[in-house]
Amino acid sequence: MGCGPPQEPADRVRCFRRRRCLLKGCEQFYRPVHPQSRYCSESCRQEARRWRRHQASRTWRSSAAGQRCRREQSRRYRRLIPLPLLTELPESRAAESSPPAAEVREGQRPEAKCEDYSVRMCARPGCYVLFAVGVALSPQRFCSCRCRRALRNVLDRESRYRRRRRAGYRPRPWRSRPGSARPP
């Protein structure tokens, strides 16, 4: 499969321009086989799927229904696997050797130190960077200009493609070689 004039009409192959893989960390150039492909390989597509699942679970856990579901799950877990009880110590030793209440709980995440900001994850596939925003309703979705620009390039390209298709634009299946006769 290569670019150039096809051998038979049913064997037409469209060559698209080289582009960068959208996945953060890969970002290598590749030649897509479909005009709307975003990733260079199957492994990058799988990594993007994993990132989307991670993003969806963060969103679900932050909702009220997700928190309620997680509390129920934790209760069921604690009923099945009871935590080991601390042995009775004399009162003088118990005060100095017992861990703080926050360390006793299993599976608890530490609370945010400051409540003046909220923490978000970057919206670029493959980017797990957390960043702070001052206002909860802030439109900021990206950790840096580089991540914002990478996703914006992809969305703009896909938008142009859809707009051209709606307008009836059909690209030529191949480019004519220099010196060959152009079709009328």
**CA-based angle 41:56:114, to the nearest 5?**
120
What would the mean pLDDT of 87-105 be, rounded to a whole number?
A: 52
Mean pLDDT, the chain, rounded, equals 77
* φ, ψ (nearest 5 deg) of residue 96: -90, -20
User: Is the pLDDT higher at 135 or at 177?
Assistant: 135
How many Å apart are CA 115 and CA 123, to the nearest integer? 22
Each residue's pLDDT tens digit, 48-66: 999 999 999 888 888 899 9
Query: What pLDDT sits at residue 159?
Result: 92
Residue 104, Cα to own-chain centre: how many angstroms? 33
How many Cβ atoms from other residues are within 10 Å of residue 38's Cβ? Answer: 19
- Cα radius of gyration (the chain): 27
Per-residue pLDDT for 94 more than 60? Answer: no
Domain borders along the chain are 13-85+117-166
pLDDT at 80 over 50: yes
Helix axes 42-62, 64-80, angle to 10 degrees: 90
pLDDT in tens, 98-154: 555 555 566 666 665 556 678 889 999 999 999 888 887 888 999 999 999 999 999
> Can you give the pTM of this predicted structure?
0.61
